[in-house]
Structure 1
Amino acid sequence: MASRRGSTVTRACDSCRMRKVKCDASEDCSNCRLSGLPCQYTSARRKRGPKVTRALRAIEKARQATPNAYTPALEDRLPSNEGPMFPPTPSIWADSQGQQGHEDLTPSFSGTEIVPTTESAGAIRDSLVQSMNCSIPSIPALNVINLCIELYMKYTFPTAPCVHEPTLQASANKFFAEDSSAQLFGTGSWGDKVVDMRAFTLLTAVCASVASVLPKSLLPYQEALAEPCLKASRNMLKVFEDFDIEHPCATSIISRSLHSTALQQITGKSALAYHILGQATLLLQTMRLYREDALSSHNALQAQLLRNAFWQLFAADKASACLGSRPFVLHEMLFGEELTLRLSGETMVPLMSTSSPWFEETLEGKILLGFHFIPRLWSTAASLLSDIKAYGGVDEDAEMKTRLIQDYVVFSGILDELPQWLQTSSLIVCSEDGRATQCQRTMFWVQRCTIMVTYQCLRLVILQQCINSKAWDIIGLNGLALTIAMAKIGIIYDFIQTLEDIPFVYLQVKGEPTVQRIRVVGSVLLEMTFNPENETIQERAKNYFVKLLDILGRLDSKASDEMSSWQP
């Protein structure tokens, strides 16, 4: 492609100027094409000549225009060759005590742009490998990372199909094989380095999430992995964070979502976890991923990952709206445009590796159908709850009342559309099952656990909202205290029965979301234990509360101690 200025290049594109590399000044320069970066010429041209001369002219001009405003002290602000114009800034890697984690982790500073360094990225990776070798000396680091990938695909992918397994496996070989090159982030263009750093960030985020959520029965050395992997992933993201925010991709959103999960599980700091998840949500909105046409500029794999990431976060946000656990920000009214993103694209790009021992040609399609059932469940409940609040028991609005009754009937029967492979009868383990069948049933159990626990919890939340809005007739109640108490205790019985029917490991691998559902039911039970109107219901409520405490204790949840203090 022809140069903009003939054979003489007088101005480089923004990306080449930042990277200080030679630019051919074409419409889409060769460096940007190779790096996959946007080629733009937005920076204003600078006049040539000594900066001091230009500054002196400006001062002289100012003195002539406003002689009283000029003071010799202004000359002290002129740039000189004795030092930088800007004062040195603290390293972004300094810890809370102000101590430097690594000697070479301070990014170079140029103007207002933080310029990442290859040394910082390499030091983060080396520090993690060293930590793993010290904590788990008997197992090669690569084997540990590959186990985390396998566990993610079995226990997390069914409800968060937002990673490409072959890419994760390739990243593991690149960064954690014993013969890995010392210059992992030091070759190629700046764009290539960003690709490598993003790959490392996502891989270690996956490991941090897995290690923080899964029980020791599945990952015995989880404690040696969770915090080091989370720290490495977050530190690596900081190296290129400015660029990542300006040029987001699927990894930008998914890594932050995984960071949020790991932070919640490791630290219990809900506000911090929500803040990190909010960053992912903001990127999602910035990219307009609620629009189908927003995916047209991405390749097929990126589009598939972005689509799944949107629906995962959309479901999480609807959960916030239903349970009141935090502010929700992905409401359709906030988009400013119509939500047109489809659940599936015209072509589905496989995200699972065909070399996996449990791979089967129709498996991923089944997993996606179960995954799409989850945002539908939350969205249906969220709309119903919002309408009940707006209704407020106004008898005169017969049309709205009729519609709410119909919507409640639709919600109540939503499980009728659950795919056959997610029914309990299809998930019973047989002694003749091979490894592939067992792994597939594991994935389906994870989805069933999520759907069933969520559904039973939402039944109680909807009942509670009808009580608050004095709209009992929507769900067929008459408003009498005993009738309402009987309806509550019946739903709570179904909820506890669901928990007991599900193999316990699947409650464990869902982590905080399961605990949150139990906490919601526990708060209702606690209120019922002080109900003096009916001793039988009061006694049942106390027994159910003890059962919930026992389940929380076995889940090793940070909420179990809190609920124990509530015990009547």
Structure 2
Amino acid sequence: MTSPGKRQACMECRRRKVKVSNADPGFREARVRPVWLTRNDQCDGLPTCKNCYAAKASCRYPTPQKRGPKPVKLRDHSPREPLESTFPATASSVESGDAELLVARGSSYLASDSPLSNSVTSRTLLELLGSQAQTATRVHLDLLAGLLIATPPHTAASIADHCISLYTQYIFGVVPICHEGRLRDTANRFFTLPSGADGLADHHARIWRCFAANTEREQVEILRSLTLLTAVCAEVAYVAPDSLLPDKHLIAPLFLHASRQTLRVYEDYDIEHPNSSSLSIRMLLSSAIQQATGKQEVAFHILNEAGLMAMQMRLYDESSLAGQEPIEENILRNAFWQLYVCDKTAFVMKTRPVTIHEPLFECELTLKDHSQHSVPLFVHGQEQSDAGLEYQLLERFHVIRRLWALAARVIQAMVSNSRTAPDPNTKAETSPDSIAQVSEA
């Protein structure tokens, strides 16, 4: 008897290209007939088909393949390897204790804060943290090596400190978007080497520890601080004259490359969760790229990213800054007004599409020039006049902003009048409100 399923020819019949018979199988009388009276052009699909029976050959059928998922009892229930064994190996120069400490910190974070309990997801997040730290460490080590080759008489710490001083003296009045104290803390963390770190392995291990963090958010903040510092140094190196920075042409490309490479490490997170550093970094990089290569489209693209972030954060609304830390609030305020000036300039000069434009706001432009909880962004120098100097610089910055806004409003009114009233004699009568608005500005 055959199985109730679909019949198939035996292996011998299939080799001879003989098909299975559609007739009702059974132990027919054909079995006892002479061989020459039996039709051998079809296989009846019986356990011993008539062809093999007549030829006195062994009748074999292929084993049917099993389909579908494996039964539960056949699945592998062996215990998974611990997370430490699946964590990506660090560079050979990094001490094993530091890598184990980073893994332990990441494991405790995932166990306490993460809503995902799946071990595969845990390993993925740990690998992400490790890969980010590895990439950033490699980029920073390349920067330090390049600075050492480019400026042998100077240390990386002295170069970074000098760039920060040049920023506060010559650039802050035009681009007041950085806190001097935080820049110097970052320079001390990443560029100052202790006297005991004589060996290359000790040096690499210390750099690795600079990027160690408990959570992804903390690690991104560390990367942001370094990216901002290198962007400031790149901007200063491209803008400052040779008399103030003799080696500017050697160190500027190094800082620019390091800043862009570090930003790429956490760029997706930065776009999803922007802060003041996100805006400042892109404004500085846009200016540095334009100074370095003259690639305006690349520079404008990066600057437009900052504008889109500012619109996403609704910085045109004063209430959007409520609850922010005082330093963060001041930098966000200055960064928005800087982007506002840039877009007004672009609108006047017709150089690129603008992103920060009043008709695109969801509410009125209510952001104030100064905060009620203003804190100084200068910390270098103990003179009492520093606060007054910073206030004067910010006042001049807002004067420039109002001038560009006035120019943009004049040109916008002229374009609007030319479209609505082709006759020049009727222009003044058709838009008195626009002219009065221009006069008030």
- Provide TM-score, normalisation by structure 2: 0.67
Structure 2 CA distance for partners of 1:377 and 1:184, relative to 1, 3 Å: farther
Query: Aligned to 1:183, what secondary structure does the other structure show?
Result: helix
CA apart distance, 1:371: 0.8
Which residue number corresponds to residue 187 of structure 1?
212
- Structure 1 distance, partners of 2:132, 2:126, is 16
Whole-Å separation in 1 of the counterparts to 2:413 and 2:127: 49
Matched-pair identity in %: 34
Contact 2:178 2:377 in 1 (8 A): yes
Q: CA deviation at 1:286?
A: 1.2
1:341 counterpart SS class: coil
Give structure 2 stretches of 5+ with no counterpart: 1-102, 195-202
Structure 2 partner of 1:207: 233
Amino acid of the residue matched to residue 179 of structure 2? Answer: H
Partner of 1:330: 356
Distance in 2 (alpha carbons) for counterparts of 1:22 and 1:228: 35
Query: What's the CA shift string for 1:111-138, capped at 9, x where partnerless?
Result: 9979743221111111101100100000
How far apart, in 1, do the equivalents of 2:176 and 2:388 lie? 15
* Paired amino acid for 2:381: S
- Give the equivalent residue in structure 2 for 1:83: none
CA RMSD between the two structures: 2.9
Shift of 1:352: 0.6
Q: 1:155 to 1:24 in 2, by over 3 A?
A: same
1:368 and 2:394 correspond: yes
Paired position in structure 2 for 1:281: 307
Q: For the structure 1 residues 276 and 203, does the alpha-carbon distance in structure 2 shift closer, same or farther, using more than 3 Å as the test? A: same
State the distance in 1 between where 2:151 and 2:336 align: 36
Q: Give the aligned residue type for 1:155.
A: Y
**How far has the Cα of 1:178 moved from its partner?**
2.5
SS for the counterpart of 2:395 is helix
Q: For residues 223-262 of structure 1, what are the structure 2 equivalents within 5 Å?
A: 223-262=249-288
Residue from 375, 396, 412 that aligns with 2:426: 396
Provide the rounded CA distance (Å) in 2 between the counterparts of 1:288 and 1:112: 34
Deviations 1:131-182 (A, max 9, x none): 0010000011111111111111111100111100011111111111122723
Equivalenced residue count is 321
Q: Deviations over 1:193-224 (max 9, x none)?
A: 22221111000000001111222122111111
Return the alpha-carbon distance in structure 1 between the equivalents of residues 430 and 131 of structure 2.
58
1:123 aligns with: 138
Structure 2 residue aligned with 1:168, among 183, 188, 205?
183
Q: Deviation string for 1:316-353 (max 9, x for gaps)? A: 00000011011111111112222211111112111011
2:416 is aligned with 1:387: no
Change (3 A) 1:322 1:194: same
Partner SS, residue 337 of structure 1: coil
- Distance change >3 Å, CA 361–CA 344, structure 1 → 2: closer
Given residue 379 of structure 1, which amino acid in structure 2 is its aligned partner?
A
The alignment partner of 2:355 has SS state of coil
- Separation in 2, partners of 1:361, 1:117: 39
What is the CA-CA distance between 1:185 and the residue it aligns to?
A: 3.3
Paired residue type of 1:132: L
2:266 paired with 1:266: no
Q: Distance in 2 between matches of 1:238 and 1:155?
A: 29
Cα distance in 1 between the residues matched to 2:131 and 2:316: 32
TM-score (norm 1): 0.52
1:222 alignment partner, one of 239, 248, 252: 248
TM-fit CA distance, 1:187? 2.9
For the structure 1 residues 226 and 370, does the alpha-carbon distance in structure 2 shift closer, same or farther, using more than 3 Å as the test? same
What does 1:413-432 align with in structure 2 at a 5 Å threshold? Answer: none
Matches within 5 A, 1:36-47: none
